[in-house]
């Protein structure tokens, strides 16, 4: 049995941050029911849906990845009848997760205050750009906005270049991860109190949290960090270095690692006595990096990685996606999984990084068609009979 198989999540999310959070919960076994508007359904369904390269069975890579292991019901939350159906679902649910703009759930009458009236144990979670409080709470925001405002872009890139966003959309994904953590914390607290609560996640808050010790360093000293490329502000050598056929990472954290490093790169100019201690190396960082780069260019990445690993020096290749997704370590950890579509075709995508020793191995089911499970969920979970379902369909409340 999977860890969250006793939990039911109503998923009101769209785009990336919210769907990623509910995907994590679904991967861990939560019954995750995607509530979509009648018609075309959630907007992300259309992203890349017609791409020859990035779509399968009418679904683009966004939707395929983020909505595995989920069910789909179509409910018109803007109608009284549809909202009544949704409230019936809330009575049987544990979590309602959304990433609407601030104020939308209140306008729809499905905010925590309203939902807790029908189910005091309900946990609600909203992931927004700036959270439910503060002067910017009504402002729209997407990934790059919060990456920029959160400070991370200012230290990303080369020293003589412009700020650079993370290639991975960490603004969106960070919001989803913290949303899932917040939900799990609220569910754990509910075990003691018996009542649910609201989880308010700001994507900007998440980015500030990820600044971590670097933010503390600034607040202590007043020094504003600058871009230093792939090097480190303390450790040397710690950088990306060119080889004959690519680039590798070497990360010598501390003097002991540097002494071992000298058994691999035995260059006379690196054996200065002052280099045996971090301050001496850091004072001459550019020169040390240049010497290492000149030596490494003489052989392949595989050659150097083999020698560095034998000396137990922290190192690794700078992989593109093709190489990263076929790393033996990645495959050995089930981080590339296959999801079978209704056509019988399979799509490979990233697995779940959370490994639980007593949980069943995760299974990955096909993302749902629009409203695929409306009738089954309303019949089996809520006990609606055929006449009730037909009345709701005729009124446009469900589809």
Cα-trace Rg, the chain: 25
Give the C-alpha separation, 35 to 96, whole Å: 10
| Sheet-wide strand order for 95-98 | 70-74, 31-36, 8-11, 95-98, 123-128, 198-202
Pair type for strands 59-60 and 55-56: antiparallel
The pLDDT of residue 361: 87
Contact 349, 336 (CB under 8 A): yes
Look at strands 95-98 and 70-74 and give their pairing: unpaired
Residues in the chain: 399
Instruction: Check residue 301 and give its pLDDT.
Output: 98
- Categorise residue 109: left if φ over 0, alpha if ψ from -120 to 50, beta otherwise: left
Exposed, middle or buried: residue 231 (CB in 10 Å: 0-12, 13-18, 19+)? middle
Strand partners, 200: 126
**Which tokens in the block code for residue 287?**
């020169």
Rounded Cα distance, 249 and 239, in Å: 6
Q: Any catalytic annotation for residue 232?
A: yes
For residue 75, the 8-state DSSP code is B
pLDDT of res. 229:
97
Question: For residue 136, what are its two tokens?
Answer: 């910017």
**Residues whose CB falls within 8 Å of the CB of residue 221, separated by 6 or more in sequence, listed in order:** none
Q: Which of 112, 232, 247, 267 is catalytic?
A: 232
> What's the average pLDDT block by block, 10 residues per block, for the chain (399 residues)?
97 97 98 96 94 96 98 98 98 98 96 98 98 94 97 97 97 98 98 98 98 98 97 97 98 96 96 97 98 98 98 98 98 98 97 96 94 98 97 97
Q: What is the pLDDT of residue 378?
A: 98
In contact, 177 and 207? CB cutoff 8 Å:
no
In sequence order, which residues have a C-beta less than 8 Å from that of residue 118 and are 6 or more positions away?
A: 87, 90, 91
Distance CA 75, CA 398 (A): 4
Cβ atoms of 151 and 215 within 8 Å: the answer is yes
Task: Give whole-number Cα distances, 120 to 230, 238, 283, in Å.
Answer: 50, 52, 61
**Neighbouring residues of 261: CB distance < 8 A, sequence distance ≥ 6:** 237, 250, 252, 308, 311, 313
pTM over 0.85: yes
- Angle of helix 170-193 relative to helix 203-221, nearest 10 degrees, comes to 100
């Amino acid at each position: 049995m999977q860890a969250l198989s006793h939990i039911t999540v109503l998923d009101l999310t769209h785009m990336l941050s919210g769907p990623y959070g509910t995907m994590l919960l679904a991967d861990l076994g939560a019954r995750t029911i995607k509530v979509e508007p009648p018609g075309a359904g959630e907007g992300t369904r259309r992203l890349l849906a017609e791409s020859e390269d990035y779509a399968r069975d009418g679904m683009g890579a966004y939707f395929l990845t983020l909505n595995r292991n989920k069910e789909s019901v179509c409910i018109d939350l803007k109608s009284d009848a549809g909202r009544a159906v949704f409230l019936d679902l809330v009575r049987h649910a544990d979590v309602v997760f959304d990433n609407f703009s601030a104020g939308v759930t209140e306008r729809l009458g499905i905010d925590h205050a309203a939902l807790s009236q029908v189910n005091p144990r309900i946990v609600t979670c909203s992931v927004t750009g700036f959270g439910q409080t503060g002067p910017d709470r009504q402002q729209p925001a997407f990934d790059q906005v919060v990456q920029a405002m959160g400070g991370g872009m200012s230290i990303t890139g080369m020293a003589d270049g412009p700020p650079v966003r993370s290639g991975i959309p960490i603004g969106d994904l960070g919001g989803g991860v913290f949303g899932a953590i917040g939900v799990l914390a609220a569910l754990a607290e509910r075990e003691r109190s018996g009542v649910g609560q609201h989880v308010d996640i700001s994507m900007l808050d998440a980015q500030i949290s990820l600044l971590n010790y670097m933010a503390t360093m600034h607040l202590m000293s007043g020094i504003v960090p600058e871009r230093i490329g792939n090097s480190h502000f303390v450790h040397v050598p710690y950088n990306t270095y060119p080889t004959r056929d690519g680039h590798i990472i070497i990360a010598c954290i501390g003097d002991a690692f540097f002494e071992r490093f000298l058994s691999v790169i035995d260059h006379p100019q690196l054996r200065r006595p002052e280099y045996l201690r971090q301050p001496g190396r850091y004072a001459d960082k550019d020169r040390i990096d240049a010497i290492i780069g000149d030596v490494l260019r003489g052989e392949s990445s595989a050659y150097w990685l083999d020698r560095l690993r034998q000396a137990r020096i922290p190192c690794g290749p700078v992989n593109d996606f093709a190489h990263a997704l076929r790393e033996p370590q990645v495959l050995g950890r089930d981080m590339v999984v296959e999801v079978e579509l209704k056509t019988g075709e399979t799509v490979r995508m990233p697995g779940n990084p959370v490994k639980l020793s007593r949980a069943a191995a995760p299974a990955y089911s096909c993302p749902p068609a629009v409203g695929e499970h409306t009738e089954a969920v309303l019949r089996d979970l809520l006990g609606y009979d055929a006449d009730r379902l037909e009345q709701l369909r005729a009124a446009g409340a469900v589809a």
